[in-house]
Structure 1
Amino acid sequence: MSGHPGGPATAAPGTRTRPSRRLVRTVTVVASCLAVLAAAVVVGVRALGQEPTVTLLANWTGDDEKDFREAVLEPFERKYHIRVDYQGSNAESQVLGADVEAGTPPDVVVLTGPGELADYARQKHLLPLEDLVDPKDFGTSWAMPLADGHVYWFPLKADLKSIVWYPAGVGEEQRAQAARQPAEWCVGMGSGATSGWPGTDWIEDILLQRYGPKVYGDWARGRLPWRSQQVKAAWTAWRGLVGAGGDPALVRRALKTPYDAASQPVTARPRGCTLEHQASFIRGQRAWQQADGRYAPSAQLLAGTAANQAWEVSGDLVALLHATPAAEKLIRHLASADAQRAWSAKESGFSVHTDVRPAPGDAGPDWRRSLARTLRDARETHCFDASDAMPPAVRDAFAEATIEFLAHPDHLDTLLRSLDTLSGTQGLTWLPSVCDGAPDQPSGLSPAPMPG
């Protein structure tokens, strides 16, 4: 307030009146009392349950959590006067499993695994979303109906995986030469409770590029044995690319390095590695920013592949566990073009919402616009990350097997036999499809038998 209620005090031009010390003290005391009173009112309202709250579990921490809060959650809280109790965890699958077991799951969850979500849907822990979200806004490959006809998730963000990053200035011939030298690949297998998943991405992508989406889809849906010629060939091709069974120093580096630190040698002098087979989100790492990272389709650099047959993709998928009014409002908000556009603008990922497209003359970097176009191009074949699409027990065993294989390549037959046995377990939940335009046989909420 700029003046006294009765009008401004008279002062000579160019001078300022100085409030009395008593007035300053009085104003300070009143302001402090009002602040305490306001805080008490907020606490009282929450205690009485008059301020709705929705609980949300996701995997974003650090800068990603900050961006998510600022771009998506805070606008929601201001608009609807609903508080979001957010929990970010790098071990969200384990956290969610423990919460569900204890009977205290969050209202809304964001998971990377449709296979895990399909299992929760089979157990009746998830609620259908058709009345809250239009699946056509994302397409059936992203908001997939299961065998019961219901859609239980949609993507908040997406990433492209069938790509290889390299520093600006490294030409096509240099990249081809580097791809044949295991020491030139930046590899990090560490990721806390989910260590090993970078290895699954390699094997999945090699299989997809060599044998196409049909073979890939059969395997990801539990209908092609792990000991099949195609799957085994993908494992052995990865062994050759990264030097497993060759240079022990390379293997130790890969096993000891966290996935998000694998690219650091790119900026060393001399350069410690040149190529990284990793999803689009890795471009946000400081090393690739400093190296002005560019990407090439993985089919150009993975030995033995033909022209790019399909793109492996991943997504952060939103699902509903409690249909409270506050949770339903949050679901609608997260599925809205505005929220998805705001999150995508933070460059933490890409939206595949049909109404979120780069504006004409978008000033974003060429690599980002190119990735966005590929993710949204209906003419391209997109196949969801196979391990994420598998039942959680198979996914986790696959990740662990890649670590064991790097250290002991001669254990491959034993590892594949164990994965076949596990995949044949009765009662596992397999998805009906993992690739665009490949509906296959519906099996989303029922076990899919392994071929004999």
Structure 2
Amino acid sequence: MKKLASSTAIAVLLSGAAYADGHTSAFTPGEGPFDWDSYNAFAEATDLSGETVTITGPWTGDEKAKFDIIMAFFADATGADVTYSGSDSFEQDIVISARAGSAPNLAVFPQPGLAADMASQGLLTPLADGTAEWVADNFAAGSSWVDLGTYADADGNDQLFGMFYRVDLKSLVWYSPAAFDESGYDIPETMEELKALTDQIVADGGTPWCIGLGSGAATGWPATDWVEDMMLRTQSPEDYDAWVSNEMPFNDPKVVAAIEEFGAFALNDDYVNGGSQAVANTDFRDSPTGLFDIPPACYMHRQASFIPAFFPEGTEMGQDADFFYFPAYEGKDLGKPVLGAGTLFSITNPSEGANALIEFMKLPIAHEMWMAQGGFLTAHAGVNLDAYESDSLRAQGQILADATTFRFDASDLMPGEIGAGAFWTGMVDYVTGASAEDVADSIQERWDALN
């Protein structure tokens, strides 16, 4: 029987690692809120002695250090020599190395678009038979993750090329618990209740929302997230996918209606801090600060899981700020859709070790070990939520676990000229006076011009 997780390399890596309770022994085999049984079974069944497994991706600095710990346990379980290299220019580097025939065994893609392009060029290897079924059975909203990792190969045949790992969550509304408690407001559980709360806050003399679209050259992108969330709450996942691929034109009435759903919040002077005219000019990083004014300049802010990085220094999560799920319509029967993003593993140079690492990524512990270090969410339904580093991350993990549908940020999947161009600027035009129909028409015209 192998003596697991005992190498000097792991001891060095773990010397500075701490679990949420502050103990540095959190990663000791057999201890902590981790699934050691499946890890040990994997180790007993997998021998890669003498084999090297190479990986590249976008994680550098602190993120690389956290991932290195997980890879150290993979190496110790299998006997493989594992090397991960992170790069700020990953997207360019992986294409160059793959075309030159010098790609690493696996690549970690920050979004599906590039992976799909490489799959169509024959630069990726499909994942092993049965992987799609495993993902569908073991990930929350599993079919969503299969769809997001399935692309056409060089012959036009759809195959699973990617398994998702680290996930970002966007369908969140941030608020001040103290402000809600003082006013007697309850957390809304449906979109109907959210709209009723919005009107109640106005009736009580307050301003419900902080909304800011400013982001330098990227001004407008926060509104695209609003529209994407509204598409998922008013239309089917199939309609969302058709919109992303432009099989449904951008100026389809369903898309126009989703833009107007955003406008119902952003274009109402009574609803927005500073009035609707401030929406386009307020920097998204400054927008949530109104939550912390006394009295609050605004009570709610819809933004992704990263936004606490821009909260005032010293903000205590769960005390000074908290969040709730951006709810779905009760009357639409669309379940609990979640908008987000995430990274996926693909095989760029097939080997026994590459296949084994994908198998390792199926283990709860491969996720739980990063969960315990913070800055990580997963859709793996088999993980122990107690492994999350904080109550805030645990609650976000629960939202992912409860999701019935997950869809990737649409603007990140659209051609760059649309998703990072016409869509951004179109949203600015919309909040500054253009109609939703005119904005949608202009975006579709840009899309038509690409063909």
TM-score (norm 2): 0.65
Task: Show the 5 A alignment for 1:45-444.
Answer: 52=52, 54-58=54-58, 60-61=59-60, 63-70=62-69, 72-77=70-75, 79=77, 80=79, 82-89=81-88, 92-93=90-91, 96=94, 107-130=105-128, 133=131, 135-137=133-135, 138=139, 139-144=142-147, 145-146=150-151, 148-169=157-178, 170=180, 171-172=185-186, 177=200, 184-187=209-212, 189-190=214-215, 196-243=220-267, 247-254=276-283, 257-258=284-285, 262-268=287-293, 271-282=296-307, 287=312, 289-290=316-317, 291-299=319-327, 309-314=335-340, 315-324=342-351, 326-358=353-385, 368-377=393-402, 380-391=404-415, 394-397=418-421, 399-402=423-426, 404-405=428-429, 408-410=432-434, 415-421=439-445, 423-424=447-448
Compare CA radii of gyration and give the structure with the larger one. Answer: 1
Moved more, 154-163 or 168-177: 168-177
Residue identity opposite 1:69 in structure 2: D
Distance (whole Å) between structure 2 residues aligned to residue 113 and residue 61 of structure 1: 17
Specify whether residues 280 and 202 from structure 1 end up closer, same or farther in structure 2 by C-alpha distance, changes over 3 A only: same
Distance (whole Å) between structure 2 residues aligned to residue 69 and residue 176 of structure 1: 49
Is the CA contact 1:160–1:279 (under 8 Å) kept in the aligned structure 2? Answer: yes
Residue 56 of structure 1 deviates from its aligned partner by: 1.0
Residue identity opposite 1:156 in structure 2: Y
Residue 128 of structure 1 deviates from its aligned partner by: 0.6
User: Which residues of structure 1 form unaligned runs of 5+?
Assistant: 1-49, 428-452
Residue 167 of structure 1 deviates from its aligned partner by: 1.7
Distance (whole Å) between structure 2 residues aligned to residue 121 and residue 263 of structure 1: 40
Is the CA contact 1:207–1:234 (under 8 Å) kept in the aligned structure 2? Answer: yes
| Paired residue total | 365
Distance (whole Å) between structure 2 residues aligned to residue 84 and residue 163 of structure 1: 36
TM-score (norm 1): 0.64
Residue identity opposite 2:282 in structure 1: R
Tell me the C-alpha RMSD between the 2 structures: 4.2
Is the CA contact 1:187–1:276 (under 8 Å) kept in the aligned structure 2? Answer: no
- Counterpart of 1:18 in structure 2 is none
User: Which residues of structure 2 form unaligned runs of 5+?
Assistant: 1-49, 187-195, 270-274
Residue identity opposite 1:279 in structure 2: A
Specify whether residues 103 and 285 from structure 1 end up closer, same or farther in structure 2 by C-alpha distance, changes over 3 A only: farther
Identity %: 23
Residue 226 of structure 1 deviates from its aligned partner by: 1.1
Specify whether residues 83 and 343 from structure 1 end up closer, same or farther in structure 2 by C-alpha distance, changes over 3 A only: same
Distance (whole Å) between structure 1 residues aligned to residue 388 and residue 99 of structure 2: 47
Specify whether residues 253 and 152 from structure 1 end up closer, same or farther in structure 2 by C-alpha distance, changes over 3 A only: same
Residue identity opposite 1:211 in structure 2: Q
Is the CA contact 1:162–1:297 (under 8 Å) kept in the aligned structure 2? Answer: yes
